[in-house]
Amino acid sequence: MTANVFAASLVALALLLVGCLIGVLIPRRGPIRLPGWPPKDWRALLALVASVAGSAALTVFAAWLVWIVWQGGWSAENQTLQLGILGKALLLVIGGLLLVLLSLGLAINRRSISGSVGPASFRAEGGGDEPPASVVTTTKTEVQ
């Protein structure tokens, strides 16, 4: 591990600890309560958090793989094997990015998935807005 990587790791760890201390030291006015949001809003929040965390992790991993290819330092007889392994790892990163984007789209929007395998088929729907409440109006007419 080089000195720059070690220093960057220490800075990241220090920032994490400071953030934890700030979260612990700030006084609260009672227990933490979750807001009474509808399911669509919870899905949107989950999609936002998952997409940010997943994208950050995959970006760091892809940058690390590019760093390995760029800095190299391997012998000529192992170069083909190592580049093959790194290429497969980058393909896994691309697959992960695809999953992050699909999960974001499926969590926020109305979902409708259908497909078939041989004679069997399936269809799944959900995620739409709640149906509007029905209003029943009655009128009474009297004849004199």
Q: How many domains does the chain have?
A: 1
Q: Which domain holds residue 97?
A: 39-110
Q: Is residue 122 part of a domain?
A: no
Q: Is residue 4 part of a domain?
A: no
pLDDT tens track for 23-61: 666 766 666 666 787 877 777 777 777 777 877 888 888
pLDDT tens track for 107-118: 666 566 778 888
100 pLDDT exceeds 70? yes
What's the confidence (pLDDT) of residue 97? 81
Tokens of 70: 């760029």
Q: Is residue 27 part of a domain?
A: no
Q: Is residue 74 part of a domain?
A: yes
